[in-house]
Structure 1
Amino acid sequence: MKKFILLLPLFIIGCDAAIENNEIIRLNEEKQALQDDLERKDSIIFVIVQSFNDIEDNLQTIKEKQGVISMNTSGDIESESSRRERIIEDMQMINEIMEENKKKVRDFSWKINSLVKEQKAASIKLADFQKMIDKLTAMVEAKDAEIAGLKNDLLSMNMSLDSLALAYDIQGFVVEDQAVALNTGFFCYGTFKELEEKGVITKKGGFIGIGKTEQLKQDFNTDYFTQVDITETETIDLFSKQANILTSHPSDSYKLEGDDESVDKLVILDPVRFWSASKYLVVVVE
């Protein structure tokens, strides 16, 4: 009995120590849980704030790109191809940034809602974060509207540029056609009978059939002529006994080559002067 009485205080002290130890363990666990929760919330808040800053930076980048695009749309047509490529690249970048912004806003909103649902964020000013979400959403939507307007402007610009390019191409064709026309000549040769039958020449003047001269018909048959590039045509083969140039050409701009009994070819000495009076050459041969 005496031993029991002596051991009782030690037992009580041991129980108290065990209780205190358990309490300490429990308090440490609660402290750790609170610390973990705080770190988790701090991590979420950091991500949210970082996302907010990223979105604002992205919107600033878009604003700068819009300014660049506006400058590019006011250039001249000479750099049209490279300018259009730069605009397309900038618009693609803007679209990518806008998609990234929308994703960040969705993630931003999801993180806030997760804190609310867990009811572990009483110390966090959720209302302030919701205002941030609303502000970012409004900014993104406003930027979407601006970009839509910019796309319409670019579409109109491209249509105008396409029309201008088409007009430029048409003008190029016109200039080319004009150059071809300026450098085009026509010739034919044959006996008087052949050329008369083909509707190229006739005889006029004289008296009672006497003294008539060979002349180019007023409405001569152009289909009988051969087309040539006057810048490349230097000679025309005739291979005849005699040759008479019926159409008007400066006498010093050409010569007939051959011998006393034949004319082999017509040599054009000065193409510009030779074809200046007439783009049609008619040679009567025998």
Structure 2
Amino acid sequence: MNKKQISTIIIAAVIVVVAVIGGVYVYTQKEAQLKSLASEKSDLFQQMQMKDSVLNDMENTFAEIEKNLTFVKEKRSQLSIETGEGVKNQKEELVSDIALMNTMLDESSKKIEELEAKLKKSGINLHAFERRIAALNESINSQNSQIAELQQLVEQKDFQIAEFETKVNELNAAMTVQNDSLSRESGRLVERTNELNTGHVAYGTYKELRDKGLLDKEGGFLGIGSNKVVNNNLDEDYFTSLDIRDTKIIPLHTKKAEVISEHPSDSYSLVEEEGQIAYLQIDNPQEFWKISKYAVIEVK
């Protein structure tokens, strides 16, 4: 074997080694990117679950507080003061009723404290709800102060009936405002929950979706080898909204269909009937909508 042949073999061996090293490097980088993406998706899913849990807890807690405050309001409306021989016994009943109302308000305060602690621990940015909880705390503290004043009046030997009735009326009015506030807050919580469970679907030919600003192509050369991608800025007017808790089927009725938006491939199926794609079946709603609440489907 002459020197020229040996040199050729060495050069070929070097090229092979470089190619192998390059391949290993590219594979390692891709694997690291995939692991990073999987970790980000897992963190996002956990955050969504935590947010849903906190919102549900808030809704349940506000319902319990509203129930307690309604009870207090009804109990106060039943208070009455009589004159004559039954004043002493009635006074004892009033003291007992006020003690019960104090207990109910204390329970409401504790529930709000627990909810505040859970919000802080979760780290979720819900400043609007935190401000309303703080306002409710102030209102309950104010009510407690007024009940304490009322209790002192009841315990006084010569309290004035008219003054007592005025206090009761003022407290009833305050409790009405409090109940109205809680009702509005419950409505906002329901609205927020519905928003978190709303998905959006748009389908059409590539040209239709492109003209609406939903799809575009990137990469490639002169249209060759390019990939279809969903635009970042989507116009919701071109989407149909649906409740992801109830919707399992998206009708298509087309020869071919392709899901362009990012959804796990094992979370849905394209079902054929009579030689065409009849509909998209969502097999796992939680997985299907986990990455994006916007589904874009190209039909042909």
Q: Match of 1:253, as an amino acid? A: S
How many angstroms does 1:168 deviate by? 2.2
How many angstroms does 1:199 deviate by? 2.0
TM-score between the two structures when normalised by the length of structure 2: 0.51
CA distance in 2, matches of 1:168, 1:248: 39
Q: 1:148 aligns with which of 151, 162, 170?
A: 162
* 1:110-259 superposed matches below 5 A: 142-143=158-159, 145=160, 147-258=161-272
Higher RCO (CA 8 Å, separation ≥ 6 residues): 2
Determine the structure 2 residue equivalent to 1:60: 88
Change (3 A) 1:55 1:171: closer
Unaligned runs of 5+ in 2: 1-81, 109-156
Question: How many aligned positions are there?
Answer: 171
Q: Match of 2:295, as an amino acid? A: L
How many angstroms does 1:260 deviate by? 9.3
CA distance in 1, matches of 2:191, 2:83: 57
How many angstroms does 1:217 deviate by? 1.4
TM-score between the two structures when normalised by the length of structure 1: 0.53
Unaligned runs of 5+ in 1: 1-53, 81-138
Larger Rg: 1
Q: Match of 2:231, as an amino acid? A: K
How many angstroms does 1:250 deviate by? 0.9
SS, match of residue 278 in structure 1: coil
Assess if the C-alpha contact under 8 Å between 1:201 and 1:220 holds in 2.
no
SS, match of residue 199 in structure 1: coil
How many angstroms does 1:69 deviate by? 4.2
How many angstroms does 1:280 deviate by? 0.7
Once the two structures are superposed, what CA deviation does each residue of 1:28-73 show, in whole Å capped at 9, x if it has no partner? xxxxxxxxxxxxxxxxxxxxxxxxxx96414324433432443343
How many angstroms does 1:222 deviate by? 1.1
Once the two structures are superposed, what CA deviation does each residue of 1:166-209 show, in whole Å capped at 9, x if it has no partner? 23212311221122112211101100111112222122222344
CA distance in 1, matches of 2:220, 2:181: 55
Determine the structure 2 residue equivalent to 1:5: none
Q: 1:74 aligns with which of 98, 102, 118?
A: 102
Change (3 A) 1:74 1:150: farther
Q: Match of 1:151, as an amino acid? A: E
Assess if the C-alpha contact under 8 Å between 1:187 and 1:225 holds in 2.
yes
Assess if the C-alpha contact under 8 Å between 1:73 and 1:157 holds in 2.
no
Q: Match of 1:172, as an amino acid? A: S
- Percent of residue pairs identical: 30
Aligned-residue CA RMSD in angstroms?
A: 2.9
